[in-house]
Structure 1
Amino acid sequence: MQLVVGRIGRAHGIKGDVTIEVRTDEPELRLGPGAVLATDPAATGPLTIASGRVHSGRLLLRFEGVSDRTGAEALRNTLLIAEVDPEELPEDPEEFYDHQLMDLDVVTADGIEVGRITEISHLPSQDLFIVERPDGSEVMIPFVEEIVTEIDLEEQKAVITPPPGLIDDQAEIVSSRDADADADTDADAAEDESA
Structure 2
Amino acid sequence: MADTAPSHPVLLGIVGGAHGLKGECRVSSFTAEPQDLGAYGPLFDKRGARYTVLSARIQKNVVVVRFEEVRDRDQAERLNGTELFVDRSSLPEDEEDDDFYIADLVGLQVVTVAGEAVGTVVAVHDFGAGDILEIAPERGQSVMIPFSEAAVPEVDLDGERIVVEPVAAGLVEAKPEPGEDGAPTR
Name the structure 1 match of 2:12.
5
Q: Taking structure 1 as reference, are residues 164 and 121 closer, same or farther at Cα in structure 2, changes over 3 Å only? A: closer
2:138 aligned with 1:147:
no
Name the structure 2 match of 1:157.
161
Post-superposition Cα deviations, 1:96-142, rounded to whole Å, max 9, x if no partner, equal 23552122121222323222111222333322111012332211012
| TM-score (ref. length: structure 1) | 0.71
Q: Taking structure 1 as reference, are residues 132 and 90 closer, same or farther at Cα in structure 2, changes over 3 Å only? A: same
2:59 aligned with 1:55:
yes
* CA RMSD, Structure 1 to Structure 2 (Å): 3.1
Percent identity over the alignment?
Answer: 31
Post-superposition Cα deviations, 1:9-28, rounded to whole Å, max 9, x if no partner, equal 12233332222233444655
| TM-score (ref. length: structure 2) | 0.74
Q: 1 CA distance for matches of 2:85 and 2:143?
A: 27
Matches within 5 A, 1:16-31: 16-25=23-32, 27=34, 29=36, 31=37
Q: CA deviation at 1:67?
A: 4.0
2:128 aligned with 1:115:
no
Aligned length: 171
Q: Which amino acid aligns with 1:17?
A: E
Q: 2 CA distance for matches of 1:133 and 1:78?
A: 30
Q: 1 CA distance for matches of 2:42 and 2:28?
A: 17
* Unmatched segments (≥5 aa) in structure 1: 173-178, 183-195
2:44 to 38, 63, 84: 38
Q: CA deviation at 1:143?
A: 1.5
Q: CA deviation at 1:58?
A: 1.8
Q: CA deviation at 1:167?
A: 0.9
Q: CA deviation at 1:165?
A: 7.4
Question: Is the radius of gyration larger for structure 1 or structure 2?
Answer: 1
Q: 1 CA distance for matches of 2:78 and 2:141?
A: 37
Q: Is the 8 A contact 2:34 2:58 kept in 1?
A: no
Name the structure 2 match of 1:82.
86
Q: Is the 8 A contact 2:19 2:73 kept in 1?
A: yes
